[in-house]
C-alpha cells in the first residue's frame, strides 16, 4: 500500500496503471491555442498525464483528469468524470475513443475531442451525428509534440508514414 493524493492504492494492478504512459504525447501548444480560439474556453484537460498537459492562453495548466498524482487533478478516471458546467478538452488514446465517445454521448458531456480522421470506424458516425463544430488540425507529423521516439498512440511508430500522415480534427460535442 502507498498513498497517492486522494487515497491509498492497494493493488499491484492499480499501481501499474499509474506508471508513466509509454504513448504520452500531446498537441503542440500552438495547435491547442488554435482549438482554444475556436472552441474555448476549455476548463478541464481529460486524459492528461505527467508529461502531457495543456495550458490556458495565459500559461496556467488546466485542471485535469488523470490516473497520475499530478497537481490540479480533479479525478482519476476519464470514463467516470462528468461536469456538465464545464467544457472539457480530450485527446484520448485511440483504443479508448469508442468507449469515451459512448460515455460523452450517454452523459451529454460538453467536450472538445481530438480525433483522427478515420471515417471507417463505427464511432465516426456518432461524431458526425452529435458533433456541432469541426476544426481540421493537420497531420500528426505537424501537430503532435513527442519528446522521445516511442510508439504513436494510433498504433504505429512515429516514423511510419501512414501514422504521420493521419489527419487530426477537433470536434465539439454538446454545449455548456
pLDDT at residue 24 in the model: 66
Q: What's the distance, CA 132 to chain centroid?
A: 18
pLDDT for position 2 = 46
42 phi, psi to nearest 5 deg: -110, 130
In percent, the amount of the chain with pLDDT more than 70 equals 76
- C-alpha to C-alpha distance for 119 and 31, rounded to whole angstroms: 22
Nearest Cα neighbor of 150 from 139, 138, 158 is 158
Determine the pLDDT at residue 61: 94
Q: What is the pLDDT of residue 118?
A: 86
The answer, yes or no, to whether residue 11 has pLDDT greater than 80, is no
The mean per-residue pLDDT over the stretch 118-130 comes to 92
Q: Go through 13-23 and write b for each residue having 16 or more CB atoms within 10 A of its CB, e for each that does not.
A: eeeeeeeebeb
User: Average pLDDT in the 50-74 region?
Assistant: 90
Is 127:115 a contact under the CB 8 Å cutoff? yes
Query: What are the cell numbers at 128?
Result: 458526425
Amino acid at each position: 500500500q502507498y498513498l497517492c493524493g486522494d487515497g491509498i492504492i492497494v493493488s499491484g494492478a492499480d499501481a501499474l496503471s499509474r506508471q508513466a504512459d509509454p504513448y504520452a504525447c500531446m498537441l503542440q501548444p500552438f495547435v491547442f491555442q488554435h482549438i482554444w480560439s475556436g472552441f474555448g474556453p476549455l476548463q478541464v484537460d481529460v486524459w492528461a498525464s505527467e508529461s502531457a498537459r495543456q495550458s490556458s492562453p495565459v500559461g496556467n495548466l488546466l485542471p485535469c483528469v488523470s490516473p497520475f498524482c499530478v497537481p490540479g487533478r480533479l479525478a482519476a478516471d476519464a470514463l467516470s468524470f462528468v461536469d456538465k458546467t464545464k467544457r472539457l478538452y480530450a485527446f484520448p488514446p485511440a483504443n479508448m475513443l469508442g468507449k469515451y465517445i459512448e460515455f460523452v454521448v450517454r452523459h451529454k458531456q460538453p467536450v472538445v475531442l481530438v480525433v483522427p480522421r478515420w471515417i471507417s470506424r463505427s464511432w465516426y458516425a456518432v461524431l458526425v451525428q452529435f458533433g456541432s463544430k469541426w476544426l481540421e488540425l493537420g497531420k500528426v507529423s505537424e501537430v503532435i509534440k513527442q519528446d522521445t521516439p516511442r510508439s504513436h498512440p494510433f498504433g504505429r511508430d512515429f516514423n511510419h508514414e501512414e501514422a504521420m500522415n493521419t489527419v487530426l480534427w477537433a470536434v465539439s460535442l454538446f454545449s455548456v
